[in-house]
Chain A
Amino acid sequence: DGGITQSPKYLFRKEGQNVTLSCEQNLNHDAMYWYRQDPGQGLRLIYYSQIVNDFQKGDIAEGYSVSREKKESFPLTVTSAQKNPTAFYLCASSTFRGVGGPTDTQYFGPGTRLTVL
């Protein structure tokens, strides 16, 4: 059963702590993405990776870090430098056919809701 899994579903963090959100996919996709969703808003891109061992900042990367050591995995760390981390975090993946090629459909995981206490 192919898909994208995110864990945990709910996460609580004390101020000053770093936390890591997991994202795993078994779709054999090259590209993976992290988005943040706030109430009443669309999604905003945090980081993305088009190939293993490479990743790029999105629109709101400050206070976040990622790694891409394996094709299947793209964990996101929310650091203490992120001033307002309470949000719903969504991971997505897609194939990647290169610059100038057609946009590949992104498939989303179920999300992690992070709350800062």
Chain B
Amino acid sequence: AQSVTQLDSHVSVSEGTPVLLRCNYSSSYSPSLFWYVQHPNKGLQLLLKYTSAATLVKGINGFEAEFKKSETSFHLTKPSAHMSDAAEYFCVVSNTDTGRRALTFGSGTRLQVQP
């Protein structure tokens, strides 16, 4: 079975300061990991994806995430927050061992960016 834990339900940062959104996963097999962002009443947009290539994954809008197998973590970071980054962020895991191909979502982290 696979699962995802997002360690913070809310994170608040000031504009221009670094962002860290934490995610731990549990997976029986080599997982694929994703970060998605959701703005209010919108669908989800893919930020980045890890699929067993480079452990440091660069995404859109200056975000990146590092896959650490020993820590079973996939934390999302950005060097400098922008007001437009305020949204809900979801860490997601998918295993390749089943035909289902569905995603297991974390419960989300709401990022607030203060001016």
Within 8 Å by CB of A90, from B43, B94, B102, lies B43
Give the complex CA separation of A96 and B99 in angstroms.
9
B96 to A100, Cβ gap below 8 A?
A: yes
B105 touches A43 (CB 8 A): yes
B41 lies within 8 A of A104 (CB): no
Enumerate chain B residues within 8 angstroms of A105, measured Cβ to Cβ.
Answer: 34, 46, 49
Of the listed stretches A14-22, A69-77, A109-117, name the one at the interface; the rest are far from the partner chain.
Answer: A109-117
Residues of A within 8 A of B97 (CB): 100
Known: A100-B96, A105-B49. A43 touches B43 (CB 8 A): no
* B→A interface (CB under 8 Å): 4, 9, 32, 34, 36, 41-46, 49, 51, 90, 94-103, 105-108
Q: Which residues of A does B touch, CB under 8 Å?
A: 4, 6, 31, 33, 40-45, 48, 50, 56, 58, 88, 90, 92, 94, 96, 98-111, 113
